[in-house]
Amino acid sequence: MKATKVSKKIKISDLTEFDITRHLKSKRAMTEYLNQVIADGDDAELAAALGHIARAKGMAEISKSSGITREALYKALKPNTKPRFNTVSKVIGALGMRIIVHA
């Protein structure tokens, strides 16, 4: 079989930005993503992951369910932030999830 040479070059600026929220359509995907981030132990990444999941689910819905304003959610769940445990707990509850600790 003859190999085909690719001659067209792609500019980085022509690539679409990766959006993880497009891959978080099921509760299972959301749960697996969040568990992996928690296992990695990066607080700032936890906030970002919760933000991704909340956007995938619908920030307005999470705001209403958690009792936290949309503006406060966007601020607390942006990358490189460290939200309070109370905020994390409310968002996880609004997502229909629970925090479980195993020994």
State what percent of residues in the chain have pLDDT above 90: 60
pLDDT tens across 67-81, in order?
Answer: 999 999 999 998 888
Q: Tell me the C-alpha distance between 48 and 6, whole Å.
A: 37
Contacts of 82 (CB under 8 A, 6+ apart): 43, 44, 47
Average pLDDT, the chain: 89
Alpha helices in the chain (DSSP H): 27-40, 43-57, 59-66, 70-76, 85-94
Q: Which residue has the higher pLDDT, 80 or 50?
A: 50
